[in-house]
Amino acid sequence: MSQNPVLRNDWQLDEVQALYALPFNDLLFKAQSTHRAHFDANEIQISSLLSIKTGSCSEDCGYCPQSARYDSDITPEALMSIDKVLQAAENAKAQGASRFCMGAAWRKPKDKDIERVVEMVQGVKAMGLETCVTLGMLTDEQTQRLKDGGLDYYNHNLDTSEDYYSEVITTRTYQDRLDTLARVRDAGINVCCGGIVGMGETDVDRAKLLIELANLPKHPESVPINMLVQVEGTPLMGTEALDPIIFIRTVAVARIMMPESRVRLSAGRNNMSDEMQALCFFAGANSIFYGDKLLTTDNPMTNQDLALFKRLGVRTGGSSYA
């Protein structure tokens, strides 16, 4: 349990449902008040993503174009060279990113992959950027190696509620994910963990996902809330779109439950209006993925994001290196 009385780890379903059910203005007021008590309300942290190993993944995550099981339109690529990764990190830094996140389409990395990734982490860190990687399931030894290599954040999402999980993924369990998260936490690496909404889950599933995240022994430092990006060829293509108001409510409830975490408005921004994104920021989102690409799909262009920030009077920042 947390020693800080505002950081609760004992959320119950009925109280989370009660938050979701608040009149929209009351919910946003509560979320914004919470946000202001813990953060500079006009500052947003920006992370850039790079897919360092793309496609041919053995897993069956129903949302993911990188699974080898689905016929999506991506070109598989082996683990990138360190030079190419560092070049991409330089570009991200020049564009203004404070964190560089490297993602690999693996169920779990091999030990020799970890050594390459550690070299990437060290090179990116030397540029003054925060580092994050997402590589799938880890062993204790691999986690320790990443920690010793200086990694700042590990991203590993719970994706959805435990109940809905098996509708979306069958090749690894919810417990596998919790085990990797515990390893990362125990090794002293910052945890980036969130989920995806708009996958056909229910209101209860969304509430339960947030409960799983907030009731971890310590809140994740970063909580990415992804709106499903529907990709041709994946099983979740054609899922009924989630009401944008429910998405904004999800951001607000996450902010209230995890007041000191960076809540990231993650995948799906390319299909959101500027006004919807502004409401997500008002609801307490204070981080985005920045750069023209997520891993394999499009993200808003950087000049579009910078123009939006200017219109909203938002500053970028929030890096521990800044």
Q: Which residues are the active-site residues?
A: 57, 61, 64, 101, 132, 192, 264
Closest approach of ligand DTB to the CB of residue 278, in Å:
21
Residues 318, 44 contacting (CB under 8 angstroms) = yes
Interface positions, 205-234, toward ligand DTB (CB under 6 A)? 224, 226, 229
Q: Which two tokens stand for residue 293?
A: 């690409």
Residues 197, 247 contacting (CB under 8 angstroms) = yes
Cα separation, 155 vs 142, in Å, equals: 14
Residue 63 in contact with ligand SAM, rule: CB under 6 A? yes
Closest approach of ligand DTB to the CB of residue 266, in Å:
5
Question: Of 55, 68, 62, 59, whose CA–CA distance to 172 is shortest?
Answer: 59
Residues 92, 102 contacting (CB under 8 angstroms) = no
DSSP state for residue 155 in the 8-state scheme: E
Strand partners, 51: 103
Closest approach of ligand SF4 to the CB of residue 180, in Å:
12
Each residue 59-98 as x (binds ligand DTB by CB under 6 A) or -, in order, gives ------x---------------------------------
Closest approach of ligand DTB to the CB of residue 194, in Å:
5
Residue 291 in contact with ligand SAM, rule: CB under 6 A? no
Residue 134 in contact with ligand DTB, rule: CB under 6 A? yes
Q: Residue 7 CA to chain centroid, in angstroms?
A: 20
What residue ranges bind ligand DTB (CB under 6 A)? 49, 65, 103, 134, 155, 157, 194, 224, 226, 229, 266-267, 294-297
